[in-house]
Amino acid sequence: MENSLSRASGLLQKLSGENLCLAVSLLELLALKEEMEATAEISTDPDLVGQLNGARHSRQLGNYDDYCPWEARHGL
């Protein structure tokens, strides 16, 4: 992946300002597509949906310990 990033960076540096803006827009679209695919994957996984719903319910009841790991609550 590092090789691909170096290659992409080198190619971006060679582009004119207008084409660089176009390339950035394309990269933003690709990133959004990946986010949407990940969201779709999560929303179709019954286990994950159950965990999210359980966490939402616990949060509404004020039971933060039910879904938030101790390490996350204490910044570890």
Describe the chain by its helix, strand, coil percentages, rounded to 5. Answer: 85, 0, 15
* DSSP H helices in 15-45: 17-43
Spacing of C-alpha 7 from chain mean position: 23
pLDDT digits (tens, 9 = 90+) for 1-58: 789 999 999 999 999 999 999 999 999 999 999 999 999 998 899 988 888 888 889 8
> Buried b / exposed e across 32-42, counting CB within 10 Å, b at 16+?
eeeeeeeeeee
Q: Is the pTM of this model over 0.85?
A: no
Q: Give yes or no for a contact between 55 and 61, defined as CB atoms under 8 angstroms apart.
A: no
Where do the domains of the chain lie? 1-44, 45-76
